[in-house]
Amino acid sequence: MKKVHVYVTLKRGVLDPQGKAIQKSLNSLGYEEVVEARVGKYLELQVEEGPNLMGRVKEMCDKLLANPVIEDYSFEVEEAIHS
Amino acid sequence: MKKVHVYVTLKRGVLDPQGKAIQKSLNSLGYEEVVEARVGKYLELQVEEGPNLMGRVKEMCDKLLANPVIEDYSFEVEEAIHS
């Protein structure tokens, strides 16, 4: 079993009203040093081992996990810890 | 200027219906090796340098960015790339 971490972010230039709201809220709570906030998604997948794991995760991102028109993604694979 | 990456995840044991939906969708698209998906948030903050940056980011997470009742968070600080 492998654990895959996927990070999905809005492309540079795409407006992020949720991030803007978070930045303004932080500023009004007294954290005036925050000049920008951008919000993305973080996914953890547990995947059974098989051939071409990297390629298949890339396909999952392109088809379902990210919207390639407005989002970028990256991912990394780690050995899952047995518990 | 520093760039701060914040990862917010649901605590283990908290139901994640969005993650379950993603897992089932991946399975029905033919990615049957995916046995679990959990969804979290990923935030990128641009922060002006100042004293006690780590402590202040921790406060921001506790007060606004994460819900400590049901969520865990972690963060890391990097030098922002000048562009």
| CATH fold group of domain B2-79 | Mth169; Chain: A , (3.30.1280)
pLDDT at A9 over 80: yes
Distance from CA of B60 to the nearest CA of A (A): 7
Pick B35's closest partner by Cβ from A7, A48, A56.
A48
Average pLDDT score over chain B: 94
Interface ipTM: 0.87
Paired tokens of B60: 């921001």
Contact A38 B37 (CB under 8 A): no
Q: What is the pLDDT of residue B81?
A: 58
A19-65 confidence digits (pLDDT tens) = 999 999 999 999 999 999 999 999 999 999 999 999 999 999 999 99
Tens-place pLDDT, residues B46-66: 999 999 999 999 999 999 999
Of the partner residues B38, B46, B48, the one whose CB lies closest to the CB of residue A44:
B38
Torsion sign, CA atoms A26, A36, B40, A46 = negative
Whose tokens are 């997948």? That residue is A45
Q: Among residues A58, A53, A50, A56, which one has the least CA distance to residue A75?
A: A58
- Residues of A in Cβ contact (< 8 Å) with B35: 1, 46-48
How far is it, in rounded angstroms, from Cα A69 to Cα A53? Answer: 24
